[in-house]
Structure 1
Amino acid sequence: MAMQARLRFDVGVMLEKLRGKRVVFVGDSLSRTQWESMICMLMNGVDDKKSVYEVNGNKISKKIRYLGVRFSTHNFTIEFYRSVFLVKIGSVPKRSPKRVRSTIKLDELDGISSKWINSDILVFNTGHWWNRAKLFEIGCYFKVGGRLKLGMSTLDAYTTALNTWASWVESMIDTDRTRVFFRTFEGSHWSGPNGHTCEVTKMPTFGSKSEYRSHFSDIIKKVVNNMAVPVTAMHVTPMGSFRSDAHVGTWSDNPTVPDCSHWCLPGVPDAWNEILFSYL
């Protein structure tokens, strides 16, 4: 699929297809990477580079919740909204155990979701923050209907959150206008006890150590397949398993802490966009 998309990609054609459109990416840092990749790919077809600019004059930052780049000569924008869970961060109920410091409201979408509605292409992802180390160890637990769910597993919580997202799409998005995509989970190549070793290789591998399935990706596909409106699940999980060479690794701001979660650019995220373009 990725190779077919690569053969089809024509930057001039895509710039014309996006003329007058609004492309919106929603998710975590991997969504931001795909956003960056698309901008770089399309910039290759723009003669006047100064005609492409960030609408608020912002520099790309992990902390900024909104970034938008405008291609003024073709009258379209490519935007990114940082929403790592897609659902809302909530308060701690009274008389909660001391270990509870924050909550995730699984039955309510992120408060900035109203800004995603009037788009032509809408691409979601979430998954990398849904793990015990990033949640329970920092005192973040799940909440449904205003009640804590201390015994709920991350996979059950993820399923509940995605069903909340699906209901929102069904009720709030005009799918006659907006093409909706959900990119599946991108696994990392951490290994060893608790994933302390980043296995970055010099070349792509010719066989993954397993089928490289992801429970998160399985949930995404199941939820999307059960939706009452057309949504495309971009299942990119298996192809990423062969690209242990494409991670940031030690080529980061802090080389003492290898990064096996994010991808270098140009690289794997370009293939995600080539697949996305092939759908369009």
Structure 2
Amino acid sequence: MFIGDSISINQWQSLLCMLHAAVPTTSGIITQDLHNHTVSTVTFKHYKVSVMLFRSFYLVDVDKETIGRVLKLNSVRNGNLWKEIDVLIFNTWHWWHRRGLKQQWEYVQVDGKIRKDIDRTVAFRTALRTWAKWVDSDVDTNRTKTTPFKGSIYPTGLPLAGYAVKEVIRNIKKPVHLLDITMLSQLRKDAHPSTYNGFNSMDCCRPHRAKHDALHNQYLGYNVKCNSSIVDLQKLNKGKWTPPYSNRATQPTMKKAFPWSLCKALVKP
């Protein structure tokens, strides 16, 4: 189960596309939307495997009260739905600093007191401690994986050249700063495919078709269209260009069947 925001959604979609490419037919694939569209499940019936997504911006609870939506930093009742899962993958932070219309709550409750707002880093740390207590008290390590792979045996890694660069830079006496784009790209390879791929749809399975992938767009801070190959460097140099913030989140809610047809374009090894 992936638990988190759009980063978790992208990871979930990407894994499903890879699994779909490996199964001989879609006849045994079942899609479900549960708990008021909070949980999306895709089950590969013949293999007795389910890949699930639990949407949670903050991991802790957000409840609708008479005063409005309350972010409860000491409560993680949603954990009751996570207990029986074999592998849990958590993600949070992206939404903690949001304000205004993008803020998903009106009040914060901490230690029994309700406030209009508190320092976001303090709130984040408090929520993580609540989540950590849940892990210690409710996760059965005999069933649920907390470390799926050890670093020494994980079947991937950075290119060897990357290690060579870091080793050499460590031995330089004068300060040299390395912007490790390769490492950064490994953290989130697909970014928001539906926003940046130029097709205006969820297309995580055809990244090779776009001229400008999402990673380069996010590094530049510029939403480069697929039919554009030149960035106006004059605007950049003269300071007239401001990196826009895109809020065009077009992730599927699974109210309809997962778009398996998009996955057919995967490049087979």
Show the counterpart of 2:43: 70
User: 1:64-106: CA deviations, max 9, x gaps?
Assistant: 211111111211111111122111114568xxxxxx7432110
- Pick from 80, 86, 89 the counterpart of residue 114 of structure 1: 80
- Pick from 143, 154, 160 the counterpart of residue 120 of structure 2: 154
Contact 1:105 1:142 in 2 (8 A): yes
Show the counterpart of 2:69: 102
Question: Percent sequence identity over matched residues?
Answer: 27
Query: Which protein is bigger by CA-based radius of gyration?
Result: 2
Q: If each structure's strand is expressed as a fraction of its own residues, which one has the higher value?
A: 1
Matched, 1:25 2:34: no
Contact 2:4 2:90 in 1 (8 A): yes
User: 1:153-211: CA deviations, max 9, x gaps?
Assistant: 111101100110010011000112211369xxxxxxxxxxxxxxxxxxxxxxxxxx986
- Pick from 56, 59, 63 the counterpart of residue 83 of structure 1: 56
Show the counterpart of 2:129: 163
Q: Equivalent residue of 2:22, what SS? A: coil
Show the counterpart of 2:200: 252
Q: Where do 1:208-219 residues align within 5 Å?
A: none
CA distance 1:261–1:167, change in 2 (3 Å): farther
1:239 CA displacement: 3.9
1:40 CA displacement: 0.8
CA distance 1:150–1:82, change in 2 (3 Å): same
**Partner Cα separation in structure 1 for residue 5 and residue 83 of structure 2:** 18
**Partner Cα separation in structure 1 for residue 40 and residue 192 of structure 2:** 29
**Partner Cα separation in structure 2 for residue 105 and residue 129 of structure 1:** 15
User: 1:95-134: CA deviations, max 9, x gaps?
Assistant: xxxxx7432110001x332111011111111122111425
**Partner Cα separation in structure 2 for residue 26 and residue 156 of structure 1:** 21
Q: What runs of 5+ residues in structure 2 fail to find an aligned partner?
A: 149-176, 202-222, 226-243, 252-269
Q: How many residues align structurally?
A: 179
Contact 1:252 1:259 in 2 (8 A): no
CA distance 1:67–1:137, change in 2 (3 Å): closer
**Partner Cα separation in structure 1 for residue 53 and residue 109 of structure 2:** 27
**Partner Cα separation in structure 2 for residue 241 and residue 43 of structure 1:** 21
Matched, 1:36 2:13: yes
Q: Equivalent residue of 2:128, what SS? A: helix
Q: What runs of 5+ residues in structure 1 fail to find an aligned partner?
A: 1-23, 94-99, 183-208, 213-235, 265-280
* Counterpart residue type for residue 88 of structure 1: D
Contact 1:25 1:31 in 2 (8 A): yes
Show the counterpart of 2:144: 178
* Counterpart residue type for residue 146 of structure 1: G
* Counterpart residue type for residue 61 of structure 2: K
**Partner Cα separation in structure 1 for residue 81 and residue 103 of structure 2:** 32
**Partner Cα separation in structure 1 for residue 200 and residue 193 of structure 2:** 13
**Partner Cα separation in structure 1 for residue 22 and residue 190 of structure 2:** 27
* Counterpart residue type for residue 122 of structure 1: L
CA distance 1:238–1:142, change in 2 (3 Å): farther
